[in-house]
Amino acid sequence: MKRHLYFYLLSIVSLVFSSCGDDEGPTSPAGEYASGVFVVNEGNFGGGNASISHFDLENGTVSKGMFSSVNGGALGDVAQSMSLSGEEAYIILNNSTKVEIVNYGTFESTGTITDGLANPRYLAVDGDRAFISNWGNFDENFQLDQSFIGVVDLADNSLSTKINTNDGVEHIFIFEGKLFVANSFTNTVQAFDMDSYELLGTTELAQSPGQFAVDADENLWVISQGNFAGNDGALTCINTTNFSIERRVNLGLNPANKLVPNDASNLLYFYQGNTIYQFSSRGTDPSILAEMTDFVGIYGIGYHEDDELIYVSDAVGFGGEGKVVRLTVDGVEVDEFGAGIGPNSFVFTP
């Protein structure tokens, strides 16, 4: 506990110092939650108990279920992801087929996107447009009808265009003026033009690609889960000009579809089961960073530049409230705080 306290104090100190110099970037909102770490708690499927919780880095307090307490009513069912843009947070409620928009400083609701959505997954904002990946609907043989990126005009939250993709479009990433999408039911990543929405290229890589990350050398990486029980997951570096494969690192395992970068050390983090791996994009093979032995299973991972800590969450089998553990980049546990049901990802305020 003492050790935890020490790291905790250290992190506050470093935060105070780092926040002095870093005052550029977009305006942040005012309010209680304007600064800190949001945890996306997807909730039990059908339980309607998705929530967002907030961890205050300065005093270590955790606020839970702000959407309900501020707005009344429940947030929705299965919070798949959350993205920040300007003063807004966009929360995708997969099984409510909607996106709740809140001012992330106060968590007051400022709008809802429902138009044209079908199994929405992730969202990226560019100016006054939001790109939302949608799996589309399943038919009776559990085959997807048509996956697409919904382009939403944020002025009136209406869907203006549907960009058809390959099956199971999941993570989306705007990079070098292009829209990269990972089609998780396939072995493809597609790149689209941001204005004409034309397909620029398709990269074939290991099965079931997930999250994108950019390393310190400005290379675009994507993690693939591989085939079920095939132990053939991979990290793939994509050439963002001709969409060929720059480099492929076979992992020999089936990782989760999450990948987060640590710019300072040029590392990428991912996990499988209770094991956290790190991969240096300048190195060769990934190595084990830490084993979360008392976890039921890691369900989300994040790296926060400000406190230089790794955040991992345990959904405790969705049997109750999850927890978050913070680790140093050396894999040493710093502290732990409570989350809601099914914490799946972290969003750090700018």
Partner 1 sequence: MRRLVSTVLLSLCAMAAVAQTDTLVLDDVTILGQKWTSYATGIKVTRLDPDSATASQSLADLLQSSALAYLKTYGNGQLSTLNIRGTGASQNSIFWNGINSNITSLGLSDFSLTPMALVDDVSLQYGAGSSLLGSDVIGGSVHLAVTPRQTSELALALTQGSFGLWGGRAKARYYGRKWSAATRVLYQTSENDFPYQNIAAVGNPNEKMDHAAFEQWGLSQDVWYEINTRHQISAHLWYQSMDRQIQPGLNTSQRDNQDDQTMRALIQWSADYGDHNGTLKVAQLQDRIDFNGDVSVMPRTYLSYEYEYVGSDNWSLRGGVNWQVLSADIDAYETDISENRQDLFVSLGWYPMPKLNLSANLRQSLVEGFDPSLTPSLGWRYLASSWLTWTGNLSRSYRVPTLNDRYWRPGGNLDLRPESGYHAETGVEITRSKLKHQLSIYYGDVSEWIVWLPQEGYWAPENIDEVEIFGVEYESAWKVTKQLKVNASYAYNRSIRTAGATDSFEGKQLPYVPIHQIKSSLTYQQHWWSIGGDGQWTSQRFTNADNSGSLDPFFMVGLHASAQAGSAWSFSIRANNLTNQDYQLVLNRPMPGRNYQITIQHNFDFN
Binding residues for partner 1, per CB under 8 A? Answer: 44, 46-49, 71-74, 76-77, 93, 95-98, 109, 138-142, 208, 225, 228-229, 254-257, 272-273, 294-297, 299, 314-321, 341
- The answer to whether the beta carbons of residues 80 and 121 sit under 8 Å apart is yes
Residue among 294, 296, 277 at smallest CA distance from 333 = 294
Q: Closer to partner 1 at the Cβ: 98 or 304?
A: 98
* Least distance CB 189 / partner 1 (angstroms): 18
Q: Closer to partner 1 at the Cβ: 307 or 314?
A: 314
**CA torsion, ordered 191, 194, 195, 201, to nearest 10 deg:** -10
* Least distance CB 296 / partner 1 (angstroms): 5
d(CA 237, CA 177): 18
Alpha-helical runs (H) found in 190-274: none
Q: Closer to partner 1 at the Cβ: 28 or 71?
A: 71
Residue among 34, 42, 135, 140 at smallest CA distance from 89 = 34
Handedness of CA 95, 97, 103, 109 (dihedral sign): negative
d(CA 85, CA 254): 32
* Least distance CB 134 / partner 1 (angstroms): 12
Handedness of CA 290, 213, 209, 321 (dihedral sign): positive
Q: Closer to partner 1 at the Cβ: 97 or 133?
A: 97
Cβ neighbours of 56 (radius 10 Å) = 15
Beta bridge pairs of residue 124: 131
* Least distance CB 318 / partner 1 (angstroms): 7
Residue among 189, 135, 142 at smallest CA distance from 167 = 135
* Least distance CB 254 / partner 1 (angstroms): 6
* Least distance CB 46 / partner 1 (angstroms): 4
- The answer to whether the beta carbons of residues 209 and 182 sit under 8 Å apart is yes
Q: Closer to partner 1 at the Cβ: 81 or 97?
A: 97
- Tokens encoding 221: 């990486």
Cβ neighbours of 18 (radius 10 Å) = 13
Q: Closer to partner 1 at the Cβ: 67 or 348?
A: 67
Residue 140, Cβ density class (10 Å: 0-12 exposed, 13-18 middle, ≥19 buried): exposed
Q: Closer to partner 1 at the Cβ: 125 or 339?
A: 339
**CA torsion, ordered 333, 338, 343, 348, to nearest 10 deg:** -70
Q: Closer to partner 1 at the Cβ: 1 or 20?
A: 1
Q: Closer to partner 1 at the Cβ: 320 or 350?
A: 320
d(CA 26, CA 31): 16
